[in-house]
């Protein structure tokens, strides 16, 4: 994973943090499927992410990026929590927090995740469980911020270079992950595991990693347990 620098710092943090965590853990396109299968991956390239509803027939194709897939480059999967239910790939990339009264609007460190799973519980215009596949994944670029995100104290840390970043538009302190989001997450992670050869002991939630170890909430722990059961 990554640290504060591109060179030795990156290697040091990668080995140290992964070793600590591994030692401490026991562990629809709403368009038709035909249209989804007919789409070329090149159509997703650019700064605007493509949001789609996921089904098993289409997710395999969605995970294949426009640029050649680099399976050996991705050794881990980290699942993040946006902490706002209206998050999207665009708002996360811009560092905006959506929702609440105008005076409550705030900024956060920008994060270009590879995948964002949207939450439709707060808006009828945002289908629940839709998957956004971003340019970071299509172009095989880093898309997993340091696990301390969005804490401003860690904004200077570089993204992990060998981690696939998946963000749930969720705030478990307020609402549980929706059933649609859960289904999409499980399908996505299983497909990534198959295509990248990532074992389940290398799939983490951000709160299971430093600097968050020991700070997990009961709701986060309960969902992590539920997710791991579904992943089996």
Domain 8-231: which topology? Lysozyme-like (3.40.80)
Q: The whole model's pTM is what?
A: 0.75
**Span 29-56, average pLDDT:** 38
Half-sphere exposure of 44 (CA within 13 A, CB side): 29
Integer CA distances (angstroms), 82 to 43, 110, 116, 229, in order: 26, 11, 9, 23
> pLDDT tens for residues 164-174?
999 999 999 89
> pLDDT tens for residues 44-94?
333 445 555 555 557 888 898 999 999 999 999 999 999 999 899 999 999
Residue 181 is encoded by which pair of tokens? 């989001």
CB distance 101 to 144 below 8 Å: no
CB distance 224 to 208 below 8 Å: yes
CB distance 175 to 219 below 8 Å: no
> pLDDT tens for residues 140-182?
999 999 999 999 899 889 999 999 999 999 999 899 999 999 9
């Amino acid at each position: 994973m990554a640290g504060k620098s591109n060179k030795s710092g990156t290697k040091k943090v990668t080995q140290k943090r992964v070793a600590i965590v591994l030692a401490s853990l026991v562990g629809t396109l709403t368009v038709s499927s035909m249209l989804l299968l007919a789409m070329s991956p090149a159509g997703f390239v650019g700064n605007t992410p493509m949001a789609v509803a996921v089904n098993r027939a289409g997710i395999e194709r969605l995970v294949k990026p426009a640029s050649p897939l680099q399976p050996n480059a991705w050794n881990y999967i980290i699942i993040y929590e946006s902490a706002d239910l209206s998050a999207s790939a665009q708002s996360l990339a811009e560092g905006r927090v959506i929702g609440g009264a105008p005076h409550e609007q705030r900024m956060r460190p920008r994060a270009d995740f590879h995948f964002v799973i949207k939450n439709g519980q707060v808006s009828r215009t945002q289908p629940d469980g839709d998957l956004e596949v971003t340019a970071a994944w299509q172009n095989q670029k880093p898309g997993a911020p340091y696990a301390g995100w969005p804490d401003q104290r860690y904004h200077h840390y570089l993204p992990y270079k060998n981690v696939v970043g998946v963000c749930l538009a969720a705030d478990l302190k307020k609402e549980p992950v929706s059933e649609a989001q859960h289904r999409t997450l499980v399908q996505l992670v299983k497909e990534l595991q198959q295509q990248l050869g990532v074992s389940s002991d290398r799939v983490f939630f951000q709160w299971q990693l430093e600097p968050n170890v020991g700070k997990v909430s009961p709701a986060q722990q309960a969902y992590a347990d539920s997710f791991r059961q579904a992943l089996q």
